[in-house]
Amino acid sequence: MSDLGIRESSVEGGLGQSPLRPDGIAKSEGAYEFSSDLSADNMLIGKTLRSPHQHARIVSINTAPALAISGVHRIITADDVPGKPTYGLISSDQPVFAADVVRYIGEPIAAVVADDEEICARAIDAIEVTYEVLSALADARLAKDPSAPSIHPDGNVIREQNVITGDIGVVGDVIVEDHYSIGMQDQAFLGLESALAIPDEDGAGVECHVATQWLHEDLGQVAACLDLPESAVRLVLGGVGGAFGGREDLSLQVHVCLLALATGRPVKMHYSRSESFLGHVHRHPAEIWMRHHATSDGMLLKIEAEFVFDGGAYASTSSAVLVNAVTHAQGPYRCENAAVKGIAVRTNNLPCGAMRGFGVVQACFAHERQMDLLAQACGLDPLEIRRRNAMSTGDRLITGQVVESVAPVSEIIEGLSRMPFPEGAGDTEKHPYELPGGAGNTTRPDDVVRGIGYGLSIKNLMYSEAFDDYSTARCQLRNGIVTLKFATAEVGQGFITIAPQIARSTLGLEEVELEVIDTNVGSAGSTSASRQTWMSGGAVEAACLRVRELVYQHVATAEGTDPLVYTIDGTELVNTSTGGRRPMNEVVVGLEFDEEVEYRHRPTVPLDENGQGDCHTAFAFVGHRAVVDVDIELGLVRVVEISTVQDVGRALNPLSVTGQIEGGIAQGLGLALMEEIIQRDGRIMNPSFTDYLIPTIADMPPVIAELIEIPDPQAPMGAKGVGEPPTISSTPAVIAAIQDAMNTAYGSAPHLRRVPLQPSDVAKTVNVGLGD
């Protein structure tokens, strides 16, 4: 840890401390009200009819038999959408209800509203839809072919983006290349999609309580589809049980509002787990080719890469995900020459969009596997090849953008190299439950080989490419109490914990209250892109600073001096010219101020056709080391420990930072070893937590985390976002560790190049008699 003289606030519950989250106890006791727990008097239940076909023309829809069922109130289809028939985050290409064509299994066709869940289910079964089944385009590599049939009026190609820089003809002494693939990961948030819509008494508007990541984006899209002015639609944040990108797109928002307006009664919709897999976007499956050129001593000369991202049936954020992938192809390493190609295409698969790491996860898996190949080819240790190429502040990226953020990559590598190794290698007394296979009782210590692997990454923070990215916050001071208002979605990341910390430290006042999180204030932007501590944190700080300035002016007027002489130390107002001190809670008696601020980060620009331009706002860096025990013969893995060194700028709430690190690593480990939505002909084969596996406590190892706290001069309070980096390079670190164990066991083993890894991949590659 670095001691750079950061002033620890002496306000109770201020910055740098770890006050407990206000929702923590209720959540752990099961008393917290998630959006799925909401109810209202006179409430009806809504349910969605979804396409059973990957690609089909809708010939007819007959709702009459369903309407005849007692207890069914209304059934709505595309014909009942009064406003815009489509929605979407970047391009509005996704129908509220499919009108003529369905493009993936699970696409909404109609919605039923009835007295209860069971009647809804019967009505859904009773709706008669006649389809003319069309041939489906399920392979992204085929979909990008210009001769492929177009499956959407906007065409199959969502975006192509190349990054070309330097001398692309240069050839290295050492060249390594391979093909990599990443499976479709689900956000697997525990709180399922749900919303409660309550129509206004006069029927002219609606209030929607919903678990979302971005209230104002929902508001704009919902109002357009409802053909209502935004002032007639209010969105209120329902209790959110995790998001990870999967709540950035609309799911049931328009449907539930339409049903409430159609019936004049409160309507609730909530998805089951299997419906949830159909109801939100997923991490893009990707096929990646990379070729690295280096000098014989391992210095990177050139990176060549091709990315193919399967966007599924609708665009969602695919174009931005693609930009993140191609612009992060180099990883946190210096490289002057690059020829990177990328394309994101539509297919008749599940739509893909935002998920923690947002394109960088895919790029990082490939570049870190490549760095290990390069290390091997140059005869260098995996940390040494990374040390030699480590990026630092002031380096130029392959986009031409100069890294102005603090870039402590060398410090991260040094930190990792100093970490002690866990005990227990070759421990013959270990209980089988602690070994690979866990509760399955498969493995004994003699069956185990230990491996160690590393992963490093760079991640952009905030939105890119000229997006007008801002957050709004309001600070009111009255009766000595500070009240904050913002529309920042609390999805579990902890903003409702740090927002009061910011106010306490800025104003020297301990009593801070939060208003309801809804659209009765300006937008806070999305809770994504590791951006809310920086953006909404920046807005809260700025609003509090304005109030503080007004307090200084008030006191200065009363004391006949200059406002500039005042400062706050802990809970006291200090007159720096006299040394006089007064408790802030006495100073503010009778004062009332109310300030609202929109905070913007610095502008960014779109990439040009060669992928050049200052498209990103800022960057954060992290490194991971995984230690694994592998039962080589069976291909079973037990991750023993993950240690990490993360560049956080400044830890405003160290406990919260640790929580993000541990949770993010669990998600990265999940992608490495088990998490994948398996589709066959566009149908999900594992739409449940019985078969879509996420790590349990028996899979998640202890995490040893070291924070690098070098406050970033561009970041409010010096704090960088910490949410995404833990997920990104933990995945390749785990795979590299398994590769290391396989190499130890067998001298050399085939290069691992797909996640999630299956036991059969490890066992197959080392066992005779298992084919290929």
The residues that touch another protein, with contacts defined as CB under 8 A, are 121, 272, 274, 436-442, 444, 447, 633-636, 638, 673-674, 678, 680, 685-686, 688, 690-691, 693, 695-699, 758-760, 763-764, 767, 769-771
Nearer CB in complex with another protein: 50/144 = 50
- Rg of the chain taking only CA atoms, in angstroms: 27
Min CB(610)–another protein separation in Å: 42
Report the run of H or E that residue 73 belongs to, with start and end: strand 72-77
Min CB(440)–another protein separation in Å: 4
Beta-carbon neighbour count of residue 308 at 10 Å?
22
Token readout for 525 is 């932007």
Pairing of strands 703-708, 481-486: unpaired
Nearer CB in complex with another protein: 159/270 = 270
Min CB(62)–another protein separation in Å: 21
Distance CA 723, CA 212 (A): 17
Determine contact, residues 311/344, Cβ cutoff 8 Å: yes
Distance CA 704, CA 204 (A): 55
Nearer CB in complex with another protein: 317/727 = 727
Min CB(412)–another protein separation in Å: 29
Nearer CB in complex with another protein: 510/761 = 761
Nearer CB in complex with another protein: 560/769 = 769
Distance CA 366, CA 178 (A): 9
Nearer CB in complex with another protein: 183/649 = 183
Min CB(123)–another protein separation in Å: 14
Nearer CB in complex with another protein: 72/639 = 639
Min CB(360)–another protein separation in Å: 25
Nearer CB in complex with another protein: 110/299 = 110
Distance CA 144, CA 542 (A): 47
Closest CA to 307 of 281, 331, 334, 284: 284
DSSP letter for each residue of 493-561: S-HHHHHHHHHHHHH----EEE---BSSS-----S-TT-HHHHHHHHHHHHHHHHHHHHHHHHHHHHTS
* Cα torsion through 577, 578, 581, 582, rounded to 10: -90
Sign of CA pseudo-dihedral 501, 506, 508, 513: negative
Min CB(731)–another protein separation in Å: 16
DSSP letter for each residue of 411-449: HHHHHHHHSPPPS-TT-TT--GGGSTTGGG----GGGEE
Min CB(770)–another protein separation in Å: 5
* Cα torsion through 54, 55, 58, 59, rounded to 10: -120
Min CB(671)–another protein separation in Å: 13
Nearer CB in complex with another protein: 132/691 = 691
Nearer CB in complex with another protein: 549/633 = 633
Min CB(709)–another protein separation in Å: 34
Nearer CB in complex with another protein: 481/745 = 745
In the block, tokens 């209250």 appear at 513
Closest CA to 102 of 354, 297, 348: 348
Cis peptide before 756 (omega within 30 of 0): yes
Min CB(670)–another protein separation in Å: 9
Min CB(65)–another protein separation in Å: 16
Min CB(118)–another protein separation in Å: 10
In the block, tokens 């993010």 appear at 664
Min CB(729)–another protein separation in Å: 21
Pairing of strands 157-160, 163-165: unpaired
Nearer CB in complex with another protein: 402/678 = 678
Backbone angles phi, psi at 172, to 5 degrees: -90, 160
Nearer CB in complex with another protein: 437/723 = 437
* Cα torsion through 215, 217, 221, 226, rounded to 10: 30
Nearer CB in complex with another protein: 333/692 = 692
DSSP strand E in 96-193: where?
A: 101-102, 108-114, 128-133, 157-160, 163-165, 174-182
Pairing of strands 636-647, 703-708: parallel
C-alpha distance from residue 752 to each of 503, 701, 755, 756 (Å): 49, 22, 9, 10
Distance CA 614, CA 530 (A): 19
Min CB(641)–another protein separation in Å: 15
Closest CA to 757 of 139, 371, 182, 288: 182
Distance CA 235, CA 213 (A): 12
Give the DSSP letter of residue 619: E
Length of the chain: 772
Nearer CB in complex with another protein: 443/656 = 443
458: Cα separation from own chain's centroid: 15
H helix intervals, 151-300: 215-226, 253-263, 273-279
362: Cα separation from own chain's centroid: 13
Nearer CB in complex with another protein: 203/440 = 440
Closest CA to 702 of 505, 356, 420, 417: 420
Min CB(117)–another protein separation in Å: 10
Backbone angles phi, psi at 186, to 5 degrees: -100, 150
Nearer CB in complex with another protein: 421/433 = 433
Question: What's at 440, amino acid-wise?
Answer: G
Nearer CB in complex with another protein: 611/695 = 695
339 SS3 class: strand
Token readout for 288 is 């990646």
Min CB(683)–another protein separation in Å: 11
Determine contact, residues 249/89, Cβ cutoff 8 Å: yes
Min CB(73)–another protein separation in Å: 21
